[in-house]
Structure formats: structure tokens, C-alpha cells
Amino acid sequence: MSCGIYVRVLDGYPSRVDYFRESCGEYPMSMWRKLERVGRGTTIPELLWSNGPGLSKLEKMSISDQRRYLSERIDVLIERVEGKVKTFDKLRLRVQDLTNDQANQVFSINTIRDESAQRAYLESLAASNRRKVEEAQAVAFEKPWQAIGKKQILIKTPSCGMKFGRKDLIEMLDAIEK
């Protein structure tokens, strides 16, 4: 196979690798890395011309897992929220059909997450998203001033162009009187 020839050139004639690549035409480095992995036997040939979020993660797994998950469907946990009740459904999808988010949920480093690990991943992701929203809201509602003791107000942003209305001034005065 041509992948084996490419690996023999890499190993036997390292100084000729650039010439070999140029003579084959313009291909991205990612394709040459795939050719090498197939030639060295770390990736199955069926994944050579495939792309997609699930397939790129599958390439990092063992040969036996690549064959298995390319031919079988994978369990993907789907979270559903109805009111305050959260439930989980399972979908059985082909690795080729996984979206980027689903591939990140299903694949861990060189392995497939089971149902409980996927649930933990989703919970961790939700907690991270909640923190980001809370931080964004805190920044959005932060006042451009701060009371320092009972007699001073610190303006946090440059004062050029800053205007305070009557309500703002009353709120500032109330803050230093407390």
C-alpha cells in the first residue's frame, strides 16, 4: 500500500521526504500524518480519508477499538430538562454522525466514556457554563465606583466623559454613609 511506501521513505531516506511530498502534489500536513499513522499500523485505512469530530478522536484509539467503534453504534447520553426535572435519554449513533459537542462528551483520552462518565462530563460542563454566566453577569452589573470608608468614593474607570445622574449620586452618598 502507498502508506507503507511513504513510511519506508520516511525511515530510509529522511532527506528525500520533502521531494517525495512535492512530487505527489499539494496536500496538507494533516494528510501526510494520517498516511504515516496508517503506514505504521496505528490507524486503520478506513479512517484515512474520513473526517469529522468523532472520527478524528477515534483515530487516537487502539486499532481494535477503531475497528469496533467504526462498525458499532456508540451510546450518547442526551440531557432533557422539563421544568426542574432533569432526565437522560440514550441515543445510539454512528461515530461518523457525532457532532463536535457529542464527540467531546463521548470520547475521553484514548477511550469511550460510559454512561456515568458521560453524565459526570455533562454535569461538569453545566457547572462551568453556570460559572461563566455568573461571572459575566457580575462584570455587567459592577458599578463604576466604590465607596471607600465613610468619606470617599473611588471612581474605577477613567473619569473622562463619565456622567452621574441624581440617582447615582444619591446611591453613592448612601453607600458612604453606611
Of the chain, the percentage scoring pLDDT greater than 70 comes to 89
Q: What is the pTM of this model?
A: 0.67
Question: Is 121 in the same domain as 82?
Answer: yes
Residue 26 backbone zone (phi > 0: left; psi -120 to 50: alpha; other: beta): beta
pLDDT of residue 45: 92
Which positions of the chain have pLDDT values less than 50? Answer: none
Residues 111 and 166 placed together within one structural domain of the fold? no
DSSP state of 32: H
Predicted pLDDT of residue 24: 84
d(CA 41, CA 106): 24
Closest CA to 58 of 70, 46, 49, 48: 70
pLDDT at 150: 72
Percentages helix, strand, coil for the chain (3-state, rounded to 5) are 55, 15, 30
Cα gap 90→112, rounded to integer Å:
15
One domain for residues 83 and 115:
yes
Q: Tell me the pLDDT tens digit for each residue of 57-88.
A: 999 999 999 999 999 999 999 989 888 888 99
Q: Which domain holds residue 148?
A: 143-177
Residue 54, in any domain of the structure? no
